[in-house]
Amino acid sequence: MSGASFTDTEFMICLSARSIEDSSTVFVGYGMPQIAAILAQRLYAPGIVQVYEYGAIGPDVATPFRRNMMADARNSRRSFAWTTMNPMFAYASAGFIDYGVLGAAQIDPFGNINSTVIGGTYERPKVRFTGSGGGNEVASLCWRTIILTEHEKRRFVPTLDYMTSPGYLDGTEGARERAGLPRGTGPHRVVTSIAMYDFDPATRRMRIVGTREGCDAKAVCDAMMFEPLVADRVETLAAPTADELRVLREDIDPDRVVIGRA
Amino acid sequence: MEVIDSGIGEVRLSDVDEAREWMREKKSRKLVDKVTDEKTAVERFVHDGAYLSYDLSSMVRGPMSLEREIVRQGRKDLWIAAKFTLLDTTLLLAGGCLSKIDVGFAGLGRTLFAAIEEGRIKTIDWSNGTLALRHLAGAMGVPFLPTRALLGTDTFRRSGAKSVRDPFTGKTVCLVPAVHPDVAIIHVNQADRYGNARVFGPSIAPLETAMASRRVIISTEELIDVEEIRRNPGRTTIPYFVVDAVVVAPFGAHPGTVPGLYTYDAGNLDEFFAARDDAAMRRYLDKYVYGVSSHQEYLDLIGADRLAALREAERIREGYYT
């Protein structure tokens, strides 16, 4: 949103940082998810254990954040353990990983996400993205998935061009378990630049639970290509605090590699 | 076992007994000196049409001196496993070496995505985890391994996986087939001349990739004595009889980092990222790949002062060398 004293990315990072419980294990990837986890550690949940697909368990990630730092010495320092990818996804599959934090190019009403192709055909897509990476494993195997995405209308589609990673699949009761995915897993929150959603337990559809100041549920719905559910009580999502912005801008990402400039 | 659903992705299957027999016949258990250079190792072991696997990526402990040599020699029609890949796919693609990518993470760079969008290269989408698991299956000598990922998605449908009913519990589970790459290229911190190799720090699947592959080229920052290996065997990641060639390549991961030893060359990476079309990428290759004839010439081009500065700038050694 223009005119704000913080960026959309800062808003999403702060919201997700506040929604991760202390002393939980969090599967994160490069960029926004990683910075959200670091911010949470610094301000709210010092006991968070960051877990990376490249084999680091619980690093005390060095800041300032640098471009390309994924898997380097500053990313990995002071971990509890260093291992490799197969054991990392085994921890997730065995039930040890509480949260996964993922981005999405497209998302549907049941929290399924696309990070592979948009438009055209699979063989000749209009736009190609990086693909799953470890996203499919994270969305399949972690207990709760938090999905972060910029709020653009075209990203919220009734039907994905391609389902890279699973949410609640077709939304029917038990769909994940029937497909063979671990029981009791699935998307937990969707955090965007203007709203926060949970998933209605009865229908497994995205449900607005909060909106950014100056933005009501109707404005959020107008900026989507499907109609989400709206919770009985929609809270106003607090803007990033001065403390959060100071830690983000002075300590974690002073070069504004991920958070950008307001 | 009842097959419930099958992905449509192309898979090159290997017979487990044929793979075992290869390991018996082609992998000598003798302690023989395997030290060679990039040029000879790539000539001998990387062939047109090969399935190639590497560990980690262009950014971190990637086998970049070997990747550049593959491009320099103009290998064609490679099929690669892009598990945790960054610039590697772009480099090999720009060199005209690639025809298929098993995608975990496709990589970075406009030239790569443009090639996919224009249909010049074939992708078969998996995920990082399932590609790593396929290497583990290959390493174990079993035809497949089960996983609870991929299920229910287009990633499953585009892959070569199958879902089956677990014969023990009746639940649905996903099976991914073993991969036996024709050749693996793996950059390590230290190795002896027989191929006993040490990787320091977290990584993707160096042992699985080496064990699964028919040929294994190790490039190493440092050549150490076998006595040093024997003094601290817990540090050995890959034992010698898995390895076919040892290339001594200091700064072999440049422009990426070897954690604990040297940091990234941010300026050089920026040059790479700035090459957003085929012509610009060609200029990068002309300068850094075709314009030199060996890794040593490449290092001379980068310059000793700059390399020393990258070593100096890597402040963290804890956990790697201490």
A131/B104 Cβ within 8 A: yes
Best to test chain B binding among A86, A123, A127 (most B CBs inside 10 Å) = A86
Q: How far is A97 from chain B (nearest CA, A)?
A: 14
- In A, minimum Cα distance to B154 occurs at A163
> Is A130 within 8 Å of B127 (Cβ atoms)?
no
Chain B contact for A124 (CB, 8 A cutoff): yes
> How far are the Cα atoms of A86, A155, A160, A170, A228 from residue A225, in angstroms, in the given order?
38, 8, 11, 17, 9
Would you call the peptide bond into B255 cis, given omega within 30 degrees of 0 as the criterion? yes
B84/A53 Cβ within 8 A: yes
A127/B117 Cβ within 8 A: yes
Contacts with B, A 148-187, CB within 8 Å: 160, 162-166, 169, 175-176, 178-182
B118/A124 Cβ within 8 A: yes
Low-confidence ranges of chain A (pLDDT < 50): none
* Residue tagged active-site, from A10, A21, A53, A150: A53
State how far the Cα of B191 lies from the Cα of A197, in Å rounded to an integer. 52
Chain A contact for B62 (CB, 8 A cutoff): no
Chain A contact for B321 (CB, 8 A cutoff): no
pTM of the model: 0.97
Q: Which residues of A touch B269 (CB under 8 A)?
A: 68
Name the DSSP class of A161: S
Using one digit for the tens of pLDDT, what is the confidence trace for B146-163? 999 999 999 999 999 999
SS3 B25: helix
- Two structure tokens written together for B266: 């941010």
B84/A54 Cβ within 8 A: yes
Provide the pLDDT for residue B108: 85
- Two structure tokens written together for A233: 């009580």
- In A, minimum Cα distance to B201 occurs at A82
- Is A21 among the residues known to form the active site? no
Using one digit for the tens of pLDDT, what is the confidence trace for B97-153? 999 999 999 988 889 999 999 999 999 999 999 999 999 999 999 999 999 999 999
Contacts with B, A 79-108, CB within 8 Å: 79, 82-86, 89, 93
Helix, strand, coil proportions of chain A in percent (round to 5)? Answer: 25, 25, 50
Chain A contact for B60 (CB, 8 A cutoff): yes
Dihedral of alpha carbons A118, A119, A124, A126, sign: negative
Q: How far is A154 from chain B (nearest CA, A)?
A: 20
> Is B172 within 8 Å of A180 (Cβ atoms)?
yes
- In a 10 Å sphere around its CB, with 0-12 CB exposed, 13-18 middle and 19+ buried, how is residue A90 labelled? middle
Provide the pLDDT for residue A73: 97
- Two structure tokens written together for B57: 């990526």
CA angle B146, B151, B155 (to 5 degrees): 110
State how far the Cα of A222 lies from the Cα of A208, in Å rounded to an integer. 13
B202/A56 Cβ within 8 A: yes
Provide the pLDDT for residue A89: 98
Name the DSSP class of A64: S
Q: How far is A262 from chain B (nearest CA, A)?
A: 25
Chain B contact for A225 (CB, 8 A cutoff): no
A175/B152 Cβ within 8 A: yes
Instruction: Among A67, A73, A123, select the one facing B260 at the smallest CB separation.
Output: A73
Contacts with A, B 211-270, CB within 8 Å: 257, 259-260, 263-264, 266, 269
Chain A contact for B83 (CB, 8 A cutoff): yes
Give the distance from CA B288 to its chain's centroid. 20
Instruction: Among B104, B132, B320, select the one facing A86 at the smallest CB separation.
Output: B132
B151/A166 Cβ within 8 A: yes
State how far the Cα of B119 lies from the Cα of A10, in Å rounded to an integer. 37
Chain B contact for A72 (CB, 8 A cutoff): yes
Compute mean pLDDT per 10 residues along chain B, 322 residues long, and list them. Answer: 96 95 98 98 98 95 98 98 93 96 92 93 97 98 98 98 97 98 98 98 98 98 98 98 98 98 96 90 96 98 98 96 88
- SS3 of B33-101: the string is CCEECHHHHHHHHCCCCCEEEECCECCEECCHHHHHHHHHCCCCCEEEEECCCCCHHHHHHHCCCEEEE
- The size of chain A, in residues, is 262
